Amino acid sequence: MNVFMIQAMPRLVTIPRGIYLSLTTTERSLWAPQIITRYALLKNIEWDVVVQDDDVYGQALAEFEDKWNATHLLNSEILNLYANKLNFAIERWDMDYDLSAALVKPNFMQRKALKELNRYRAVGTNRALVVAAAGSGKTYLAAFDALNFNPKRLLYVVHEGSILKKSLETFQDVFGSAVSYGIYSGTSKESDADFVFATNITMCKTLELFRKDEFDYIIIDECHHATAETYKKIIAYFEPEFLLGLTATPERMDNQDVFELFDKNVPYELRLRDAIVNNLVVPFKYL
């Protein structure tokens, strides 16, 4: 690697959509960031290889030069053309991929869990913990169960704001505009909504603003964190008709008992191996 490449590398690695070609006396390398999305895998040009074959390197270099020569000087005309095409594409996406509640259906795991949750409630159980592998659809499961329960007011608690917003979107997929939604985290205090999505710290600090029976259905997501004092205070304070805990990893190394918080009621478990076997999550390999 020459002096120029050493100086340039810190800048090059900050470019998220670059393709880099390196030529030495012993090897030729082509590498680029891999973006694992459907469009990237089907449409994008993804290179990540080290070869000693001049022909392969030559083919890659020729393709690079072809793309390079197809570039245009950026000007207002091209920007306007791009904006028009983008707006049209967005409009088509909205028309073709509108997620209405009628289109969202439970998968087989969720159907089994929903059946068991209904069975537990039928015998008087008012709290339960569902254990399911990450990526298998726990949040949708919670939304479907809430749909079955039909609460007037729902509280969804999690420890991280980014998860909160994504979870709200999941509930919107299932309930649509039938209910109102609010974020209760940080400076956002939308506590009057039918369904309130809160971070544990913000809710814990303001418990006295709510009646104990404010929510008839409460969900504690990522509830392996629920042994923290903030969660314990929330669980102890509210008196919902039903309390649902969700986690992929209930066992803790500090001997804190997550199961005890839900009276050891576990209507359904789907561990990682089962999720992989049933094609709910993709298999992985350690390299």
pLDDT at res. 92: 45
**What is the mean pLDDT of the segment spanning 142-156?**
96
Does some domain include residue 199?
A: yes
pLDDT at res. 1: 45
Does some domain include residue 163?
A: yes
CB-neighbour burial class of residue 91 (10 A; exposed 0-12, middle 13-18, buried 19+): exposed
Residue 52 binned pLDDT confidence (cut-offs 50, 70, 90)? low
Does some domain include residue 90?
A: no
**What is the mean pLDDT of the segment spanning 75-99?**
64
Q: How is the beta sheet containing 154-158 ordered, strand by strand?
A: 188-189, 181-185, 195-199, 154-158, 217-220, 242-247, 127-132, 268-270
CATH number at residue 238: 3.40.50.300
**What is the mean pLDDT of the segment spanning 204-222?**
95
**180 and 252 share a domain?**
yes
**31 and 128 share a domain?**
no
User: Domain range holding 125?
Assistant: 103-277
**Over 50: is that where the pLDDT of 15 sits?**
no
**54 and 192 share a domain?**
no
**Over 80: is that where the pLDDT of 61 sits?**
no
pLDDT, one tens digit per residue, over 97-109 is 444 444 578 887 8
**Bigger pLDDT: 272 or 207?**
207
**Over 90: is that where the pLDDT of 228 sits?**
no
**12 and 115 share a domain?**
no
**Over 90: is that where the pLDDT of 147 sits?**
yes
Dihedrals φ, ψ of 177, to 5°?
-95, 15
Number of domains, the chain: 2
**54 and 158 share a domain?**
no
